[in-house]
Amino acid sequence: QVQLVESGGAVAQPGTSLRLSCAASGFTFGLHGMHWIRQAPGKGLEWVAVFSYDEEETKYYADSVKGRFTISRDNIKNTLFLQMDSLRPEDTAVYYCAKGNYYESGTYYILENWGQGTLVTVSS
């Protein structure tokens, strides 16, 4: 069965960096676009970033994190990463990784499976 296990969440000071990881198993990792989504405490869902499944290695980011966060993946180790730099208090959230659907009708943005999430708290 599909398993996604996030790690790396911590308490960080504003302006510092964190790196999140998502270990994937139970599916062919390299065939799926992979996403990060976050949820601030008591709030709704916000999509953060995606890394495509194909050789073009397309990456897209939410405007709120563009230029500060970098998504990457290791298809050998079946792991997704999120490098978070210049952290701000508003980045405080549970960060989920999610597996996108197998490419269909021009999209891999259906979030089929989610991990349990890892909590990032940005505070001085």
Partner 1 sequence: IVMTQSPDSLALSLGERATINCKSSQSVFYSLENKDYLTWYQQIPGQPPKLLISWASIRESGVPERFSGSGSGTDFTLTISGLQAEDVAVYYCHQYYNTPPTFGQGTKVE
Interface residues with partner 1 (CB under 8 A) are: 44-47, 50, 60, 62-63, 96, 101, 105-107, 109-117
91 vs 108: CA distance, rounded Å: 25
Question: Under a CB-based contact definition with an 8 Å cutoff, are residues 54 and 88 in contact?
Answer: no
CB of 10 to partner 1, least distance (A): 19
For residue 29, give both structure tokens: 């990792």
Q: What distances in angstroms separate CA 23 from CA 26, 53, 88, 106, 114, one per listed residue?
A: 11, 16, 25, 26, 12
30 vs 78: CA distance, rounded Å: 8
Q: Which is nearer to partner 1, 81 or 108 (CB)?
A: 108
CB of 31 to partner 1, least distance (A): 18
CB of 110 to partner 1, least distance (A): 5
CB of 76 to partner 1, least distance (A): 26
Q: Which is nearer to partner 1, 79 or 115 (CB)?
A: 115
Return the residue matching tokens 């008591």: 42
Q: Which is nearer to partner 1, 98 or 122 (CB)?
A: 98
